[in-house]
Chains A and B, each alone.
Chain A
Amino acid sequence: MLKTQAYTSDGQSPFFDEMLRPDGTPRPAYAEILKWLSGQSRASFKAKQEEADAIFRRLGITFAVYGAEEANERVIPFDMIPRIISAAEWRFLERGIEQRVRSLNAFLYDIYHRQEIVRAGKIPSSMVNENPAFLPEMMGFDPPGNVYAHIIGVDLVRTGENGFFVLEDNLRTPSGVSYMLENREAMMHLFPELFAAHRVAPVERYPELLRQTLESMAPRECDSDPTIAVLTPGVFNSAYFEHAFLADQMGVELVQGSDLIIEDGALYMRTIRGKERLHVLYRRLDDAFLDPLNFRPDSLLGVPGLFDLYRAGKVTIVNAPGTGIADDKAVYAYVPEIVSFYTGEKPILDNVQTFRCSIDDERGHVLDKLDELVVKEVHGSGGYGMLIGPHASKKERADFAEKIRANPANYIAQPTLSLSTCPAFCPEGVAPRHVDLRPFVLVGDRVRVTPGGLTRVAMKKGSLVVNSSQGGGTKDTWVLED
């Protein structure tokens, strides 16, 4: 029998556990899972784990770790205990996510047109117009359906029974959806009996819905069935596997910039059948590299003139260039106001409390509480230029305070988050580990939130860092149906 003592003896945990209440009784959504766990032997579970690892190696799901010399690609750790979200919890999340992505698309339309939100004084002009993530070249353009962010991966964290917060909106080129799909497939293979005991909302239709979303965004002048391709930076990109996977699942071509040519005011791909006109490009390439004629001239990955074709309505780029302004870390603090401004409603999902160092009072608070806060550079990512207050030395904090004073607008700060825990299969038995959640959203003719998403789990005891580059793993995520 599997030990769950790591769990029950941990009743004093300050963290919200998604399986057990503080008194040790299971939450209803996990009742079956707990029964199932206690019926498993350690040996059988280990055997299943080996089987799971073999499945993932065979599927070739790997991710590249930058700077890791020993191996270019590794299999991302997979934890077999599913993360469960109840039907009621999901209805709440789904409503909140839909409200948020609709608002952010409305915001993108507005700031690339009349900028009513700036005129209304809800957000400073400089934060939009002088933001590096804002593309003035996009102004005055109506993308098909007025949609800018079509494919979104919202990062959520949970800190309590009703405490869900959006950490990041990820409106550029979010990745991870291939793990969501493969995790589900592996789980159905490994534990069919568990699926018989639960009504789990399916995720398998994602590639089909992605394809429909892309098709619905064809340029207005396209009157036949649109041709779609996935544009990848190439095999050295850490998410190349996913680009190839999604192209394959949708039954469309995977292309690189060098496969594409512009002729007579249209975009073509070279294929073994000859030249074929392209209408919709699902690009997994950053804005700066999309088009050396219009953006970074040294980019060898993009297609010169692609942006001109887009603006002329000859091809649709998904997600639209310039969506990064809506998931910028400085703009993030304004999202609750953005939601209210465009919907007239109160935001359903809360932001993580964020202090803007550009504002005197908020900066004062940040400087006072540096030992408790996480300070981030507004345009940084991947953990660079970050201060984790509780783990930093006095000197590091003092140095960082200087940086904040010198350039306050470059920094925001957030409290250290108490991420919820879920059961994970660990060397010491089944133990609570911290998790986050990235649901995947498609915005086309309507908004579709795939039930569940990707759960990332910090496999190290006590660790709050769920990133795969830091040894984090993933879990299958189940949304139960009523």
Chain B
Amino acid sequence: MRIAITHISEYRYDGPAGSAVQALRLTPAPVKGQTLVSWKVEAPGIDSACSYTDGFGNLVHLVSPPADSTVVRIAATGVVETTDTGGVSGWTGEAVAAGAFLRSTPMTTADTAIEAMAEAVRSDDRLATLHALMDAVSEHVAYEPGSTHAQTTAAAAFDAKMGVCQDHAHIFIAASRFLRIPARYVTGYLLLEDGAEAPAHHAWAEAYVDDLGWVGFDAANCLCPTDRYVRLGAGLDAASAAPIRGVRRMTGEESLTVDVDVQAVGQGQSQSQSQSGGSQSQQ
């Protein structure tokens, strides 16, 4: 399947942006099941940005917009060719060893409730365990936009029994790591079925299975990724994999608008959506 993506983030400040830096993880890695046909990242200062591939396999651009900017617009656009691999990303070639994805982070620490859920699905068959875990998370946690925020922990969302894809992924990761199965957070895009209620800017989890490598589990949709999924970046949790992470040394209000448009090329299928809200920046 050929999927065209436009992902625009617009930061608006009520005064000059001042000294700011943003790390962009906005370029899909060439993993099994996806090939970049074209891809472009546009941002103020991108031409002089420094870039490198981080330990998790993400291409990073560090941009510092001009200090007098009042609007910073960051756009990632391109076309990706996908095939259905049954959710298998395989051996993705990043530097970080699988064993490091057993580390827990503040957002992905299992509490006793998550541990109990994990215990209930534990079996000798790792793949079967992970599928059962995906079912259990999906069943326990309702999809409820606005019920959680960017810093909500896995334990808090699990306790509230609701959340968004970030929370489903964090809970899945926390439980998987508790079972000593390496797991990580993946960001990406989803080509929605007509009428589906979910954001096109998506996140899910990947877990490590010996004979397969990394396998995706989307507990929010209770599904392993198909050819409708484009995988953008990976990390230990949402903070570590964030497509845009910024720090600004300036007080003052700012707002962020994100527009994600995902469509199948040549099949007349598309959806787009916007969301507004606070930003990941801090002073």
When the two chains form the complex, which single residue of B64, B96, B103 contacts A264, counting CB atoms closer than 8 Å? B64
Interface string of A109-150 (1 = CB under 8 A from B): 000110100100000011011100010111111000000000
Interface string of A298-331 (1 = CB under 8 A from B): 0000001100110111100000000000000000
Q: Which of B55, B60, B97 has the most CB of A within 10 A?
A: B97
Given contacts A130-B103, A308-B62, contact A113 B95 (CB under 8 A): yes
Contact present for A126 and B102 (CB under 8 Å): yes
Q: Please report whether the interface of chain A is mostly helix, strand, loop or mixed according to DSSP.
A: loop
Q: What residues on B are CB-neighbors of A311 within 8 Å?
A: 52, 54, 60
Given contacts A129-B97, A130-B103, A139-B100, contact A305 B55 (CB under 8 A): no
**In the assembled complex, A292 has its CB within 8 A of some CB on chain B:** yes
Interface residues of B in 60-115 (CB under 8 A from A): 60, 62, 64, 94-97, 99-100, 102-103
**In the assembled complex, B251 has its CB within 8 A of some CB on chain A:** no
Interface string of A234-277 (1 = CB under 8 A from B): 00000000000000000000000000011111100000000000
Q: What residues on B are CB-neighbors of A378 within 8 Å?
A: none
- In Å, the complex CA distance between A311 and B58 comes to 12
Contact present for B45 and A140 (CB under 8 Å): no
Contact present for A129 and B103 (CB under 8 Å): yes
Given contacts A305-B21, A308-B60, A308-B62, contact A129 B99 (CB under 8 A): yes
Q: What residues on B are CB-neighbors of A313 within 8 Å?
A: 52
Interface residues of B in 35-73 (CB under 8 A from A): 45, 48-56, 60, 62, 64
Shortest beta-carbon distance from B6 to chain A in Å: 25
Contact present for B97 and A140 (CB under 8 Å): no
Contact present for A140 and B245 (CB under 8 Å): no
Contact present for A262 and B21 (CB under 8 Å): yes
Contact present for A292 and B247 (CB under 8 Å): yes
Contact present for B55 and A140 (CB under 8 Å): yes
Given contacts A140-B55, A265-B62, A312-B62, contact A293 B247 (CB under 8 A): yes
Contact present for B21 and A304 (CB under 8 Å): yes
Given contacts A129-B99, A304-B21, A304-B247, contact A140 B94 (CB under 8 A): yes
Number of B residues contacting the other chain (C-beta, 8 Å)? 30
**In the assembled complex, B23 has its CB within 8 A of some CB on chain A:** yes
Contact present for A262 and B62 (CB under 8 Å): yes
Contact present for A140 and B95 (CB under 8 Å): yes
Contact present for A293 and B102 (CB under 8 Å): no
Residue of A nearest to B103 (CB): A130
Contact present for B49 and A265 (CB under 8 Å): yes
Q: What residues on A are CB-neighbors of B54 within 8 Å?
A: 137, 311
When the two chains form the complex, which single residue of A115, A263, A293 contacts B245, counting CB atoms closer than 8 Å? A293
Contact present for A136 and B55 (CB under 8 Å): yes
Size class of A's contact patch?
Answer: 20 to 34
- In Å, the complex CA distance between A249 and B239 comes to 41
**In the assembled complex, A297 has its CB within 8 A of some CB on chain B:** yes
- In Å, the complex CA distance between A167 and B264 comes to 63
When the two chains form the complex, which single residue of B60, B64, B95, B282 contacts A263, counting CB atoms closer than 8 Å? B64
Q: What residues on A are CB-neighbors of B51 within 8 Å?
A: 312
Shortest beta-carbon distance from A196 to chain B in Å: 56
- In Å, the complex CA distance between A314 and B23 comes to 15
When the two chains form the complex, which single residue of B21, B55, B236 contacts A138, counting CB atoms closer than 8 Å? B55
When the two chains form the complex, which single residue of B50, B236, B247 contacts A312, counting CB atoms closer than 8 Å? B50
Residue of B nearest to A304 (CB): B247
Contact present for B50 and A265 (CB under 8 Å): yes
Q: What residues on B are CB-neighbors of A262 within 8 Å?
A: 21, 62, 64
- In Å, the complex CA distance between A314 and B21 comes to 15
Shortest beta-carbon distance from A321 to chain B in Å: 12
Q: What residues on A are CB-neighbors of B247 within 8 Å?
A: 292-293, 297, 304-305
Interface string of B16-36 (1 = CB under 8 A from A): 000101010000000000000
Contact present for B102 and A305 (CB under 8 Å): no
Shortest beta-carbon distance from B44 to chain A in Å: 11
**In the assembled complex, B188 has its CB within 8 A of some CB on chain A:** no
- In Å, the complex CA distance between A262 and B21 comes to 8
- In Å, the complex CA distance between A139 and B52 comes to 12
Contact present for B97 and A265 (CB under 8 Å): no
- In Å, the complex CA distance between A293 and B95 comes to 21
- In Å, the complex CA distance between A262 and B249 comes to 12
Shortest beta-carbon distance from A203 to chain B in Å: 39
- In Å, the complex CA distance between A262 and B99 comes to 33
Contact present for B23 and A305 (CB under 8 Å): yes
Given contacts A129-B102, A261-B19, contact A137 B55 (CB under 8 A): yes
Contact present for B99 and A314 (CB under 8 Å): no
Residue of B nearest to A125 (CB): B99
Q: What residues on A are CB-neighbors of B282 within 8 Å?
A: 292, 297
Residue of B nearest to A303 (CB): B21
**In the assembled complex, B15 has its CB within 8 A of some CB on chain A:** no
Residue of B nearest to A314 (CB): B50
Q: What residues on A are CB-neighbors of B62 within 8 Å?
A: 262, 265, 305, 308-309, 312
Shortest beta-carbon distance from B281 to chain A in Å: 10
Q: What residues on B are CB-neighbors of A139 within 8 Å?
A: 55, 94-97, 100
- In Å, the complex CA distance between A225 and B24 comes to 31
- In Å, the complex CA distance between A292 and B167 comes to 24
Interface residues of A in 101-115 (CB under 8 A from B): 112-113, 115
- In Å, the complex CA distance between A297 and B282 comes to 9
Residue of B nearest to A137 (CB): B55
Interface residues of B in 186-218 (CB under 8 A from A): none
Contact present for B21 and A293 (CB under 8 Å): yes
Q: What residues on B are CB-neighbors of A312 within 8 Å?
A: 50-52, 62
- In Å, the complex CA distance between A130 and B249 comes to 32
Ranked 7 nearest A-B pairs via Cβ: A140-B95, A265-B50, A304-B247, A129-B99, A139-B55, A312-B50, A264-B48
Give 28 A-B contacts (CB < 8 Å), ordered by A residue: A112-B95, A113-B95, A118-B99, A129-B99, A136-B100, A136-B103, A136-B236, A137-B54, A139-B95, A140-B53, A140-B95, A140-B96, A141-B55, A262-B21, A262-B64, A264-B64, A265-B48, A292-B247, A293-B245, A294-B23, A297-B247, A297-B282, A305-B21, A305-B62, A305-B247, A308-B21, A309-B62, A312-B50
| A contact residues vs B (CB 8 Å cutoff) | 112-113, 115, 118, 125-126, 128-130, 134, 136-141, 261-266, 292-294, 297, 304-305, 308-309, 311-314
Other than the known A134-B100, A264-B48, what 8 A-B pairs have Cβ atoms closer than 8 Å?
A: A113-B95, A125-B97, A125-B99, A128-B99, A136-B103, A136-B236, A293-B245, A305-B247
